[in-house]
């Protein structure tokens, strides 16, 4: 009986030890990071070569490239669209997950930091407000019917393409359309809608009117992030939105211009600052804008663009390269002079889908804080550098603290 009791105690002790050890192992496995390292993960070819030595996934987990020949592949093959397979191994022995990753097309880019002027033309016209029409029955506000909403982008009326406000007036006052209900095609929150709307007869002008204020372009300044070897550029790290409706511009086409920074409105708690710049449309055109999406603004620079001669080449660091700690940003806050300032990366976020808030950063450079208050509007797109690599771009400032803001991983931008 005593022997059985001792055996039970010993068995219980080993069970406790086993369960404790198992809990420790499970606690040490970074399941969230593994999930983050999903099919959206991008690596440079250099990072793929070094991934087996990386401790990114903690002390118990190692990553192995399944096909050793992948590491020995030529640089050209490494930069193609193939997807090598990696394997997560517990204690470098027990396979727990296989995963394909994508390889960034280039290990180096030209790093930006210069201010650029941007002009975007909308694909259709953006509804920014209403203009009540004086009818025989009194004032009529078309938005009261909720058929149209602020932020809608009207693309067609009666199958005719809408390019600007004058086009709307022309279409609704054509003899065949006057006084009748018209078919309207529009985009609302990235969804195409077809609806019917009857323009109002304005007794003052004796014309039919839609009764809306519209905008067909947007302009502003930002910061160039990078240029690759094909002269493709990325900037801002977030989309350009209409200033009134906060709606992302539905891009038709756009232009990039040289920009001269005239001054800065300093930022402070509760009051984001702003860079003030000047550029002339039609002059000093440097390239075209082809995309405006959640990752930023993208396009191509001209072969003779003045930007190309002023930029320096630097290695790319994917998200495996980004660590909390000291870093730098490059931006222009005076004239056309690009300067480098010290920051620190406070936090890197888990992301298994694209997001312009990949990391939290803080400005620690006293010179930049004295001149701008920290991060201000117009600095979006400023390259974030760490360990002599470009790892991201500034995207947002904290309204409550102008020295802090968000940045986006560079790999989200490079694959646009």
296-306 pLDDT, tens per residue?
A: 999 999 999 98
Q: Who contacts 223 (Cβ-Cβ below 8 Å, separation ≥6)?
A: 112, 113, 114, 115, 116, 235, 236, 331, 332, 378, 379, 380, 381, 382, 393, 394
pLDDT category at 75 given cuts 50, 70, 90 is very low
For residue 40, CA distances in Å to 101, 319, 399, 413 come to: 7, 11, 30, 12
Overall average pLDDT of the 62-85 stretch = 58
- The DSSP code sequence of 197-238 is E-PEEETTTTEEE--EEEEEEEEEEEEEEEE-TTSEEEESSS
In a domain? residue 5: no
Among 154, 175, 210, the domain boundary falls at 210
Ramachandran region, residue 144 (left: φ > 0; alpha: ψ -120 to 50; beta: rest): alpha
| CATH number of domain containing 280 | 2.40.10.120
In a domain? residue 330: yes
343-391 pLDDT, tens per residue?
A: 999 988 765 555 667 889 999 999 999 999 999 988 999 999 999 999 9
For residue 183, CA distances in Å to 126, 180, 193, 200, 242 come to: 17, 10, 10, 15, 25
223-254 pLDDT, tens per residue?
A: 999 999 889 999 998 888 877 777 888 888 89
Same domain flag for 115 and 95: no
Q: Which is more confidently placed, 23 or 379? A: 379
Q: Is residue 167 pLDDT above 50, yes or no?
A: yes
pLDDT of residue 109: 92
Share of the chain above pLDDT 90, in %: 29
pLDDT of residue 42: 72
Same domain flag for 203 and 236: no
pLDDT of residue 93: 72
pLDDT category at 31 given cuts 50, 70, 90 is low
pLDDT category at 40 given cuts 50, 70, 90 is low
Mean pLDDT of the chain: 82
Among 210, 242, 269, the domain boundary falls at 210
pLDDT category at 331 given cuts 50, 70, 90 is very high
Cα–Cα distance measured from residue 76 to residue 215, given in angstroms and rounded to the nearest whole number: 45
Q: How many domains does the chain have?
A: 3
For residue 121, CA distances in Å to 17, 298, 381, 407 come to: 67, 14, 21, 27
Q: Who contacts 216 (Cβ-Cβ below 8 Å, separation ≥6)?
A: 121, 122, 124, 125, 126, 163, 164, 165
In a domain? residue 8: no
pLDDT of residue 78: 46
Bridge partners for 301 per DSSP: 287
pTM: predicted TM-score of the whole model, two decimal places = 0.80
pLDDT of residue 56: 67
CB atoms under 10 Å from CB of 83, counted, come to 11
For residue 335, CA distances in Å to 189, 272, 279, 347 come to: 38, 21, 11, 32
Same domain flag for 77 and 169: no
Same domain flag for 161 and 305: no
pLDDT category at 79 given cuts 50, 70, 90 is very low
Q: Who contacts 337 (Cβ-Cβ below 8 Å, separation ≥6)?
A: none
Overall average pLDDT of the 316-325 stretch = 85
Same domain flag for 331 and 202: no
pLDDT of residue 67: 63
Q: Which domain holds residue 387?
A: 108-119+217-414
Radius of gyration, alpha carbons of the chain:
28
Contact 279, 221 (CB under 8 A): yes
Overall average pLDDT of the 151-174 stretch = 88
Same domain flag for 143 and 69: no
Same domain flag for 325 and 382: yes
In a domain? residue 126: no
Q: What's the length of the chain? A: 416
Same domain flag for 262 and 192: no
In a domain? residue 158: yes
Among 182, 210, 238, the domain boundary falls at 210
CB crowding 314-347: b at 16 or more within 10 Å, else e: bbbbbbbbbeeeebbbbbbbeeeebbebebbbee
Same domain flag for 272 and 156: no
In a domain? residue 136: yes
Q: Is residue 3 pLDDT above 60, yes or no?
A: no
Same domain flag for 229 and 334: yes
Q: Is residue 337 pLDDT above 80, yes or no?
A: yes
Contact 328, 385 (CB under 8 A): yes
272-285 pLDDT, tens per residue?
A: 888 898 888 877 89
Bridge partners for 157 per DSSP: 160, 184
380-402 pLDDT, tens per residue?
A: 999 999 999 999 999 989 988 99
Residue 59 C-alpha from the chain's centroid: 32
pLDDT category at 82 given cuts 50, 70, 90 is low
Share of the chain above pLDDT 70, in %: 82
Cα–Cα distance measured from residue 86 to residue 321, given in angstroms and rounded to the nearest whole number: 18
Bridge partners for 109 per DSSP: 314
Q: Which is more confidently placed, 270 or 300? A: 300
Same domain flag for 202 and 253: no
Q: Who contacts 195 (Cβ-Cβ below 8 Å, separation ≥6)?
A: 147, 183, 184, 186
112-146 pLDDT, tens per residue?
A: 999 999 998 888 888 888 888 888 888 888 888 88
Q: Which region among 54-68, 160-174, 260-274, 315-329 has the lowest average model confidence (pLDDT)?
A: 54-68
In a domain? residue 263: yes
* Strand bridging mode 61-65 / 85-90: antiparallel
| CATH number of domain containing 148 | 2.30.42.10
Cα–Cα distance measured from residue 215 to residue 152, given in angstroms and rounded to the nearest whole number: 11
For residue 135, CA distances in Å to 130, 141, 184, 203, 206 come to: 15, 10, 22, 6, 10
Same domain flag for 99 and 112: no
Q: Who contacts 262 (Cβ-Cβ below 8 Å, separation ≥6)?
A: 276, 277, 278
Overall average pLDDT of the 291-297 stretch = 90
Cα–Cα distance measured from residue 395 to residue 402, given in angstroms and rounded to the nearest whole number: 13
In a domain? residue 4: no
Contact 140, 132 (CB under 8 A): yes
- The H or E element containing residue 22 is helix 2-28
Ramachandran angles phi, psi of 364, nearest 5°: -120, 0
**What is the set of active-site residues?**
238, 365, 380
Long-range contacts of 75-78 (CB under 8 A, 24+ apart): 75/45, 78/45, 78/48, 78/103
């Amino acid at each position: 009986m005593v022997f059985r009791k001792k055996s039970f105690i010993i068995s219980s002790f080993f069970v406790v030890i086993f369960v404790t050890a198992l809990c420790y192992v499970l606690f040490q496995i970074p399941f969230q990071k593994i999930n983050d390292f999903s099919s959206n993960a991008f690596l440079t070819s250099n990072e793929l070569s070094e991934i087996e030595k990386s401790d990114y996934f903690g002390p118990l987990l190692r990553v192995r490239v399944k096909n050793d020949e992948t590491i020995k592949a030529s640089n050209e093959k490494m930069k193609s669209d193939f997807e090598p397979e990696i394997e997560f191994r517990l204690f470098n022995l027990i396979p727990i997950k296989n995963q394909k990753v994508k390889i960034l097309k280039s290990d180096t880019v030209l790093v930006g930091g210069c201010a650029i002027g941007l002009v975007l033309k909308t694909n259709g016209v953006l509804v920014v407000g209403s203009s009540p029409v004086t009818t025989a029955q009194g004032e009529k506000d078309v938005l009261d019917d909720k058929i149209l909403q602020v932020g809608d982008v009207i693309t067609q009326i009666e199958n005719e393409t809408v390019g600007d406000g004058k086009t709307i007036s022309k279409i609704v006052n054509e003899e065949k359309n006057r006084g009748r209900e018209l078919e309207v095609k529009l985009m609302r929150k990235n969804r195409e809608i077809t609806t019917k709307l009857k323009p109002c007869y304005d007794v003052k002008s004796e014309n039919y009117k839609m009764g809306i204020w519209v905008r067909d372009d947007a302009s502003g300044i930002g910061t160039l992030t990078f240029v690759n070897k094909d002269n493709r550029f990325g900037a801002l790290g977030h989309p350009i939105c209409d200033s009134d409706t906060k709606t992302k511009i539905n891009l038709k086409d756009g232009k990039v211009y040289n920009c001269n920074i005239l001054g800065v409105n300093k930022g402070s708690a509760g009051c984001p600052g702003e860079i003030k710049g000047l550029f002339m449309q039609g002059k000093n055109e440097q390239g075209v804008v082809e995309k405006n999406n959640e990752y930023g603004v993208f396009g191509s620079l001209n072969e003779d663009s003045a930007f190309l001669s002023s930029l320096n080449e630097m290695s790319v660091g994917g998200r495996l390269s980004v660590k909390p700690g000291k870093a730098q940003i490059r931006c222009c806050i005076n004239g056309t002079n690009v300067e480098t300032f010290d920051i620190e990366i406070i936090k890197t976020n888990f992301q298994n889908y694209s997001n312009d808030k990949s990391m939290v950063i803080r400005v620690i450079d006293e010179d930049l804080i004295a001149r701008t208050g920290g991060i201000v509007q117009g600095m979006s797109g400023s390259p974030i550098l760490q360990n002599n690599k470009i790892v991201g771009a500034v995207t947002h400032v904290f309204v409550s603290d102008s020295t802090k803001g968000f940045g986006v991983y560079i790999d989200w931008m490079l694959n646009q």
